[in-house]
Amino acid sequence: MKSGQLFWGFFLLTLGSLFLLTKYDIIYSDFEFIWNLWPLIFVFWGAVVIFKDSLVRPIISAIFGIFLAVLFFGLIANIFSGFNFRFSNSHKEFVTQSYSEDYNDSVKSAEFVLKSGGGSFVIEETTEKLVEGSSYGSLAEYDLYTDLKNSNAYVEFNLNKKDFDFFHDKLKNHLVVHLNDKPVWDFVFNFGAAKAKFDLSNYIVRNIDLNTGAANVRIKLGDKSDTTNVDVEMGAAKLKLEIPENSGCQLKGDMVLISRSLPGFEKKDKGFFETPNFEDASKKIFVRINGGVSSISITKY
């Protein structure tokens, strides 16, 4: 088979597959990472020229077709799609599950753990209960586990959906959670390719441990805790943090290949940034990047 046929065949096959997988919410990535990969066009182009009469050229052409399809689809996705977490009325009419656990006044600290695959996740307004929430979609069946020991509470959402009817089910996994604002919270997020919007500005946040795949994550922090630690390990992902104007923030990590937007930060060393008010601020936020984040933005509000 000719190289040109392989190129266009794999290009169209990949492009069509991406549209279908995204339409049925099997892929949740926002494809922000493609802005950092476009120079590979010249790499593949050069390889095709160098290996023009070689047996490996058809393989290079096929891979080039796949890459350009991902690039093209990513451009479309970033231009025409927004970061929208508002569920339509049709979603709300088909709540898969509702979750709730009453609050106990003895609880002083709590740990929230989310374990899931791909999907979209939201933490928003507070509640008088310890936790309550709703999930939407045929893939959004969770086990809610809670435990209370002395003054410490443990809350875990664990995705348990194992099978579905591909032809009749709506392949979605949306989870909306509300938490009580009285305890000091530690958050552990483990999920795959996803969109997540966590408004934690009304909570006392001590620690955030974020482990994701190719995700688009927005986290808004408040100033209710003197010290907040954010540890991040992500795939080809986009992370946006919003922090209070008067909070000091320190950012450390290997950010050689990371697109950064850090208005107001000062570079102290390689992979080391701080806001000018960090030393004197009464509220401090420590951010540690441990993995392949492709884009990070920290803004003040």
274 Cβ contact list (under 8 Å, min separation 6): 248, 249, 250, 251, 265, 266, 268
Mind listing the pLDDT tens digit of every residue in the chain (301 residues)? 677 788 899 999 998 888 877 766 566 555 666 666 778 888 888 888 888 778 888 888 889 889 888 888 876 665 444 444 444 444 444 667 899 999 999 999 999 999 998 788 999 999 999 999 999 877 778 999 999 999 999 999 998 855 444 444 445 788 999 999 999 999 999 988 788 999 999 999 999 999 987 788 999 999 999 999 999 987 767 899 999 999 999 999 877 667 789 999 999 998 899 999 999 999 999 999 986 657 889 999 9
Strand-strand pairing, 293-300 and 152-159:
unpaired
Give the global pTM: 0.73
For the chain, the straight-line distance linking the first and the last C-alpha, in angstroms and rounded, comes to 57
CA distance linking residue 7 with residue 60, whole number of Å: 9
